Structure 1
Amino acid sequence: MDCGQPGERRGACVPRRHATVRRRAGRRPRATRLGAPRIATTARGGRDMKPLRIGFLVSSRYAQSTSHVPPVMRALAEAGVVVDVIHPVTRALELSQVRAECDLYVLKKMSRLSLSLAGALHTRGAVIVNPYPVTVALRDKIVTAKILESAGVPTPTAYVAAHPQELAPLLDGGPLIVKPYQGSDGVGVRVVRSVAQLASVRDGRDPVFAQRYHQPEGRDRKIYVVGSQLFGVKKVFPARTDEERRGEPFTPSPELRDIALRCGRAFGIDFFGVDIIESKGMPYVVDMCSIPGCGGVPDAPRHLASYLLEAAERAARRPQGWRVA
């Protein structure tokens, strides 16, 4: 894993402008591999204790990130956590060297490489936020739609086809919204109202995923669940300005809270985001994310750091030899 040269501090691959994390990350010999030896530190009272260690699987564009991740890392480092920033490798990585040495891993950016590395870590018993099988399921909108529908979550009627033209007969019942089945951030999403518009949808090897389109009333309701806390942010879709991307915090109604928590129970997780629209007085969950950015949530870095710290503490208390199923 490309995290500096042997002898440097673990976390030395943190960009220069995030020097706080780099200074507080703790010393680690031979920091170029996931399997680097762990170092015990002496806690108060004279007992030898291992510091909590959290690894962030990030994208190659991490240095330009404007997300909450850098301040979250700083908060964790200030709490005494050893923070490992794991970039995509720039040279070949011997898979036999991949070992789960962190108490917790955070899959922040879902590139194909980072997802595969998360899978490799999963086979070695790593605890990952969110668990690898759940992340894979939520990456696939077809699987996600079926799981939510089976759990009784109100969702638009969903369809899957091998080719866009196979959706044409469904337009007799109203417009559809077509989405890349493994898409994110709203990229490639389009409302289709006619056969002519359907013809412009790319026909490739991937399956075609569509939902019945319901005209939203007002802004989308983004619900973020972070452990036992739940936050609501109203956002415009698609967002065009920084203000629209930040959105407006709001207090979700009991109905929206129940819907969001039902989504989490369907996948067995307590850290996620759901997109809900309201149309003709009815709420519909139109998307769910296993890596919520929590944009617009007041004091989000503190909430996220607290959640990850508690998750790492739980993981560190696992019996020796415990493995993820």
Structure 2
Amino acid sequence: MRIDILLVRHPADRVSPVIPAMIEHLEEHGATVRRLYPDEGALAAPTPETTDLLILKAKTPAALEVARSAHEAGVRCFNPYPVTELCRDKVATTMALQEHGVPVPETWTVQDLADLERELAGGPLIVKPVRGSQGQGVEVVRTVEDLRALDYGQDAVMAQRFMTPDGPDRKIYRIGDEVFCVERVWPPTSYEDKLGRLVELPPAVEAVARACGDALGIDVYGVDVIEHQGEPYVVDLSSFPGFKGVPDAGRRLGAHVLSQRG
């Protein structure tokens, strides 16, 4: 099995063992794995003649362009390009989930932050870039002064009603039929904080987390679900997260990749 993985090269001090462990599992089971770095120079897109399966880990513009070309050429993708592209847009993702009955907070999209001032009368907001990632640019806004202090340039922003969580942050990860719930402190101050601790997943929260994959047609993803006054709400989704805190995540991902053999 010939597998290509689109990656970005991380700094040496960034701990990220999941992908190396996944690649090790794939190679131990006979797969030929090519590591491709689209952001480091021109890269010919994989084709069905060169590649049996493409894994889209990097989601930079250059990686998405390579993935788009591969998708149009007919290369099978472990995590489908159209869904990955959709998930880069937080507004489009939220709308898709909402259309399938997944509970999400009240949501707005604006070009001008001033358009959100009247919404503050209903309570605090969380404001975030439409195409942000890793929590960058996410701000809780409680007053008009807080709002006016923000600067996202000319980019559109997304705002959601801030709903005070009933408990700690939960990251829920799905790999095939398996679902894991990792509880974390926020903001994390160490790698151990990012790993969090594995906790039992309440049935209602698991149902919502699985519904996200059903809505988008994927079974590998991460989702942030908060419980507010006993009700679960989806506040973020990633089509290929880091799976930190999931036991033996690299092997589990590798096994799931191998299950896609044509």
TM range (shorter): over 0.9
- Partner of residue 182, structure 2: 233
Is the contact between residue 77 and residue 83 of structure 1 (CA under 8 Å) also seen in structure 2?
yes
Structure 2: how far apart are the matches of 1:192 and 1:268? 33
Superposition deviation, residue 157 in structure 1: 0.5
1:292-319 CA distance string (max 9 Å, x none): 21100111111111011112x1xxx3xx
Question: What is the aligned counterpart of 2:38 among 70, 73, 88?
Answer: 88
Higher relative contact order (CA 8 A, sep 6+): 2
Superposition deviation, residue 117 in structure 1: 0.7
Is the contact between residue 129 and residue 152 of structure 2 (CA under 8 Å) also seen in structure 1?
no
Question: What is the aligned counterpart of 1:76 among 26, 43, 48?
Answer: 26
Is the contact between residue 53 and residue 103 of structure 1 (CA under 8 Å) also seen in structure 2?
yes
2:236 aligned with 1:287: yes
Superposition deviation, residue 205 in structure 1: 2.3
- Partner of residue 57, structure 1: 6
* Alignment map for 1:43-54 (pairs within 5 Å): 52-54=1-3
2:15 aligned with 1:66: yes
Structure 2: how far apart are the matches of 1:200 and 1:92? 39
- Report the structure number with the largest CA radius of gyration: 1
Question: What is the aligned counterpart of 2:137 among 180, 185, 188?
Answer: 188
Structure 1: how far apart are the matches of 2:162 and 2:249? 32
Is the contact between residue 106 and residue 129 of structure 1 (CA under 8 Å) also seen in structure 2?
yes
Which sections of structure 1, spanning at least 5 residues, go unmatched? 1-51, 318-325
2:47 aligned with 1:99: yes
Superposition deviation, residue 61 in structure 1: 2.8
Count, aligned residues: 260
Structure 1: how far apart are the matches of 2:196 and 2:142? 28
Question: What is the aligned counterpart of 1:242 among 172, 188, 191?
Answer: 191
- Partner of residue 146, structure 2: 197
Superposition deviation, residue 191 in structure 1: 0.1
Structure 2: how far apart are the matches of 1:284 and 1:92? 41
Q: Which amino acid aligns with 1:191?
A: V
* Alignment map for 1:128-139 (pairs within 5 Å): 128-139=77-88
Structure 2: how far apart are the matches of 1:130 and 1:62? 25
Which sections of structure 2, spanning at least 5 residues, go unmatched? none
RMSD (Å) for aligned C-alpha atoms: 1.6
Structure 2: how far apart are the matches of 1:62 and 1:102? 28
Structure 2: how far apart are the matches of 1:82 and 1:273? 27
Question: What is the aligned counterpart of 2:99 among 146, 150, 162?
Answer: 150
- Partner of residue 5, structure 1: none
Structure 2: how far apart are the matches of 1:98 and 1:285? 34
SS in 2 for 1:295: coil
Structure 2: how far apart are the matches of 1:63 and 1:118? 26
Structure 1: how far apart are the matches of 2:160 and 2:54? 33
* Alignment map for 1:260-299 (pairs within 5 Å): 260-299=209-248
Q: Which amino acid aligns with 2:47?
A: R
* Alignment map for 1:294-313 (pairs within 5 Å): 294-311=243-260, 313=261
Find runs of 4+ consecutive structure 1 residues off by over 3 angstroms: 62-65, 89-93
Superposition deviation, residue 64 in structure 1: 6.1
2:181 aligned with 1:224: no
- Partner of residue 208, structure 2: 259
Of residues 84-93 and 74-83 in structure 1, the stretch that sits farther from structure 2 once superposed is: 84-93
Q: 1:165 to 1:72 in 2, by over 3 A?
A: same
